[in-house]
Amino acid sequence: MPKGSLLGQEKEQTIRGLLASLAKPAPGEALIDLAYIAGAFGVKGWVRISPFSADADALHEVREWFIAPPQGAHARGVPWLTSHLHVRVQQLKSQSDGLVAKFEGVDDRDVAHALRGATIALPRSAFPALPEGEFYWVDLIGLEVRNRQGIRLGQVEKLFSNGPQSVLVVQGAVQGKPKEHLIPFVGVYVDTVDLSDRQITVDWQPDY
Protein backbone atom coordinates (compact mmCIF):
# COMPACT_ATOMS: atom_id res chain seq x y z
CA MET A 1 0.00 0.00 0.00
CA PRO A 2 1.25 3.52 -0.69
CA LYS A 3 1.87 5.70 2.34
CA GLY A 4 -1.14 7.71 3.38
CA SER A 5 -3.64 5.43 1.62
CA LEU A 6 -7.06 5.38 3.23
CA LEU A 7 -8.00 2.04 1.63
CA GLY A 8 -8.54 -0.85 4.00
CA GLN A 9 -6.95 -4.26 3.46
CA GLU A 10 -10.19 -5.75 2.13
CA LYS A 11 -10.64 -2.95 -0.40
CA GLU A 12 -7.00 -3.24 -1.46
CA GLN A 13 -7.40 -6.97 -2.06
CA THR A 14 -10.57 -6.32 -4.07
CA ILE A 15 -8.78 -3.83 -6.30
CA ARG A 16 -5.78 -6.12 -6.73
CA GLY A 17 -8.09 -8.99 -7.67
CA LEU A 18 -10.00 -6.90 -10.21
CA LEU A 19 -6.83 -5.61 -11.84
CA ALA A 20 -5.45 -9.14 -11.99
CA SER A 21 -8.64 -10.35 -13.70
CA LEU A 22 -8.25 -7.66 -16.37
CA ALA A 23 -4.55 -8.32 -16.97
CA LYS A 24 -3.66 -9.43 -20.47
CA PRO A 25 -0.38 -9.54 -22.41
CA ALA A 26 0.10 -6.70 -24.86
CA PRO A 27 -0.64 -7.69 -28.48
CA GLY A 28 2.17 -8.64 -30.83
CA GLU A 29 1.96 -5.36 -32.72
CA ALA A 30 3.02 -2.10 -31.12
CA LEU A 31 0.50 -0.19 -29.07
CA ILE A 32 -0.11 3.48 -29.84
CA ASP A 33 -0.46 5.65 -26.72
CA LEU A 34 -3.52 7.86 -27.13
CA ALA A 35 -4.42 9.25 -23.72
CA TYR A 36 -3.94 8.84 -20.00
CA ILE A 37 -6.35 8.42 -17.09
CA ALA A 38 -6.36 11.69 -15.16
CA GLY A 39 -8.38 10.39 -12.21
CA ALA A 40 -11.74 9.19 -11.00
CA PHE A 41 -14.95 10.89 -12.10
CA GLY A 42 -17.89 10.63 -9.73
CA VAL A 43 -18.45 7.70 -7.39
CA LYS A 44 -19.63 4.96 -9.77
CA GLY A 45 -16.33 3.92 -11.34
CA TRP A 46 -16.05 6.44 -14.16
CA VAL A 47 -12.61 7.81 -15.07
CA ARG A 48 -11.45 11.13 -16.54
CA ILE A 49 -9.34 10.80 -19.69
CA SER A 50 -6.88 13.36 -21.09
CA PRO A 51 -5.96 12.79 -24.78
CA PHE A 52 -2.35 13.08 -25.95
CA SER A 53 -3.29 14.05 -29.51
CA ALA A 54 -6.04 14.20 -32.12
CA ASP A 55 -5.49 10.47 -32.72
CA ALA A 56 -7.46 9.88 -29.52
CA ASP A 57 -10.59 10.36 -31.64
CA ALA A 58 -10.13 6.67 -32.48
CA LEU A 59 -11.25 5.85 -28.93
CA HIS A 60 -14.79 6.91 -29.82
CA GLU A 61 -15.08 4.05 -32.31
CA VAL A 62 -13.29 1.25 -30.43
CA ARG A 63 -14.81 -0.36 -27.37
CA GLU A 64 -11.90 -2.54 -26.24
CA TRP A 65 -8.82 -0.72 -24.97
CA PHE A 66 -5.46 -1.62 -23.50
CA ILE A 67 -4.35 0.16 -20.34
CA ALA A 68 -0.61 0.30 -19.71
CA PRO A 69 1.05 0.88 -16.31
CA PRO A 70 1.69 4.51 -15.36
CA GLN A 71 4.97 5.96 -16.59
CA GLY A 72 6.73 9.26 -17.10
CA ALA A 73 5.04 12.48 -16.03
CA HIS A 74 1.74 10.72 -15.32
CA ALA A 75 3.16 7.90 -13.13
CA ARG A 76 1.32 8.84 -9.99
CA GLY A 77 -1.22 6.06 -9.78
CA VAL A 78 -1.45 3.20 -7.30
CA PRO A 79 1.80 1.20 -7.74
CA TRP A 80 0.34 -2.29 -8.06
CA LEU A 81 -0.78 -1.71 -11.66
CA THR A 82 2.25 -3.42 -13.22
CA SER A 83 0.89 -5.16 -16.32
CA HIS A 84 -1.33 -4.34 -19.29
CA LEU A 85 -5.07 -4.47 -18.74
CA HIS A 86 -7.70 -5.21 -21.35
CA VAL A 87 -10.91 -3.29 -20.68
CA ARG A 88 -14.29 -3.03 -22.34
CA VAL A 89 -15.82 0.42 -22.51
CA GLN A 90 -19.47 0.53 -21.45
CA GLN A 91 -19.95 4.27 -21.92
CA LEU A 92 -17.84 7.13 -23.26
CA LYS A 93 -18.70 10.82 -23.18
CA SER A 94 -16.94 13.96 -24.37
CA GLN A 95 -16.37 16.91 -22.08
CA SER A 96 -14.78 20.30 -22.62
CA ASP A 97 -11.44 19.17 -21.20
CA GLY A 98 -11.34 15.58 -22.46
CA LEU A 99 -13.39 12.41 -22.06
CA VAL A 100 -15.02 10.41 -19.29
CA ALA A 101 -15.46 6.65 -19.56
CA LYS A 102 -17.03 3.76 -17.70
CA PHE A 103 -15.25 0.40 -17.93
CA GLU A 104 -16.97 -2.95 -17.51
CA GLY A 105 -16.30 -4.27 -13.99
CA VAL A 106 -15.04 -0.97 -12.60
CA ASP A 107 -17.92 0.14 -10.41
CA ASP A 108 -16.61 2.36 -7.63
CA ARG A 109 -14.41 5.39 -7.17
CA ASP A 110 -11.55 3.58 -5.40
CA VAL A 111 -11.02 1.21 -8.32
CA ALA A 112 -11.20 4.09 -10.80
CA HIS A 113 -8.69 6.03 -8.71
CA ALA A 114 -6.32 3.03 -8.80
CA LEU A 115 -6.03 3.55 -12.56
CA ARG A 116 -4.94 7.19 -12.25
CA GLY A 117 -1.92 7.94 -14.42
CA ALA A 118 -2.24 4.80 -16.55
CA THR A 119 -1.88 5.10 -20.32
CA ILE A 120 -4.68 4.16 -22.74
CA ALA A 121 -3.46 2.58 -25.96
CA LEU A 122 -4.68 0.74 -29.05
CA PRO A 123 -2.91 -1.34 -31.67
CA ARG A 124 -2.73 0.60 -34.94
CA SER A 125 -4.82 -2.08 -36.68
CA ALA A 126 -7.75 -1.23 -34.40
CA PHE A 127 -7.97 2.38 -35.57
CA PRO A 128 -11.09 2.98 -37.67
CA ALA A 129 -10.58 3.92 -41.31
CA LEU A 130 -10.59 7.64 -42.08
CA PRO A 131 -12.13 9.41 -45.08
CA GLU A 132 -9.80 10.04 -47.99
CA GLY A 133 -7.51 12.98 -47.31
CA GLU A 134 -7.55 12.57 -43.53
CA PHE A 135 -4.68 11.07 -41.56
CA TYR A 136 -3.79 9.91 -38.09
CA TRP A 137 -0.87 11.77 -36.57
CA VAL A 138 0.97 8.54 -35.83
CA ASP A 139 1.09 7.79 -39.58
CA LEU A 140 2.69 11.15 -40.37
CA ILE A 141 5.52 10.96 -37.84
CA GLY A 142 8.79 10.05 -39.53
CA LEU A 143 7.70 11.03 -43.05
CA GLU A 144 10.14 12.99 -45.21
CA VAL A 145 9.01 16.50 -46.15
CA ARG A 146 9.96 18.13 -49.46
CA ASN A 147 8.73 21.32 -51.07
CA ARG A 148 7.41 21.81 -54.61
CA GLN A 149 10.95 22.37 -55.86
CA GLY A 150 12.03 19.00 -54.50
CA ILE A 151 14.14 20.50 -51.72
CA ARG A 152 14.24 18.33 -48.63
CA LEU A 153 13.02 20.26 -45.60
CA GLY A 154 13.41 17.46 -43.08
CA GLN A 155 11.42 14.81 -41.30
CA VAL A 156 8.22 15.02 -39.27
CA GLU A 157 9.23 14.74 -35.62
CA LYS A 158 5.78 15.27 -34.10
CA LEU A 159 2.56 17.22 -34.47
CA PHE A 160 0.61 19.52 -32.20
CA SER A 161 -2.70 21.32 -32.33
CA ASN A 162 -2.95 25.09 -32.08
CA GLY A 163 -6.72 24.88 -31.80
CA PRO A 164 -8.19 25.20 -35.29
CA GLN A 165 -5.53 23.11 -37.05
CA SER A 166 -2.74 20.58 -36.66
CA VAL A 167 0.87 21.65 -37.15
CA LEU A 168 3.75 19.54 -38.47
CA VAL A 169 7.01 19.90 -36.55
CA VAL A 170 9.66 19.19 -39.19
CA GLN A 171 13.30 18.85 -38.17
CA GLY A 172 15.82 19.58 -40.93
CA ALA A 173 18.85 21.70 -41.76
CA VAL A 174 19.66 24.79 -43.81
CA GLN A 175 23.27 25.31 -44.89
CA GLY A 176 24.40 22.73 -42.39
CA LYS A 177 22.61 24.30 -39.43
CA PRO A 178 19.62 22.68 -37.67
CA LYS A 179 16.30 24.16 -38.76
CA GLU A 180 12.83 23.51 -37.39
CA HIS A 181 9.82 24.15 -39.63
CA LEU A 182 6.34 24.54 -38.16
CA ILE A 183 4.04 23.82 -41.10
CA PRO A 184 0.25 24.03 -40.67
CA PHE A 185 -1.28 20.76 -41.86
CA VAL A 186 -3.83 22.41 -44.14
CA GLY A 187 -4.40 22.40 -47.88
CA VAL A 188 -2.91 25.86 -48.37
CA TYR A 189 0.52 24.47 -47.48
CA VAL A 190 0.27 20.68 -47.83
CA ASP A 191 0.02 19.47 -51.43
CA THR A 192 0.22 15.69 -51.07
CA VAL A 193 0.74 12.99 -48.46
CA ASP A 194 2.06 9.68 -49.80
CA LEU A 195 2.12 7.11 -47.01
CA SER A 196 3.50 4.36 -49.26
CA ASP A 197 6.48 6.52 -50.28
CA ARG A 198 6.58 8.07 -46.79
CA GLN A 199 6.72 11.59 -48.16
CA ILE A 200 4.83 14.86 -47.77
CA THR A 201 5.02 17.59 -50.41
CA VAL A 202 4.43 21.15 -49.21
CA ASP A 203 4.37 24.72 -50.47
CA TRP A 204 7.11 25.92 -48.13
CA GLN A 205 10.57 27.40 -48.48
CA PRO A 206 13.71 26.34 -46.56
CA ASP A 207 14.13 29.79 -44.99
CA TYR A 208 10.54 30.06 -43.70
pLDDT in tens, 19-43: 777 777 667 778 899 999 999 999 9
Burial class, 52, CB count within 10 angstroms (exposed 0-12 / middle 13-18 / buried 19+): middle
Within 8 A by CB and 6+ apart from 205, the residues are 147
Every domain of the chain and the residues it spans: 9-126, 137-202
Fold observed for domain 137-202:
SH3 type barrels. (2.30.30)
pLDDT class of 14 with cuts at 50, 70, 90: confident
Per DSSP, 29 falls in state S
Judged against a pLDDT cut of 60, whether residue 53 lies above it is answered with: yes
3-state secondary structure of 26: coil
| Percentage of the chain modeled with pLDDT above 70 | 88
User: What CATH architecture applies to the domain 9-126?
Assistant: Beta Barrel (2.40)
Q: How far is CA 157 from CA 142, 171, 184, in A?
A: 6, 6, 14
**C-alpha dihedral, 36 to 40 to 42 to 48, nearest 10°:** -10
| Predicted confidence (pLDDT) per residue in 61-107, tens digit | 999 999 987 665 455 555 556 678 889 999 999 998 899 999 999 99
pLDDT class of 141 with cuts at 50, 70, 90: very high
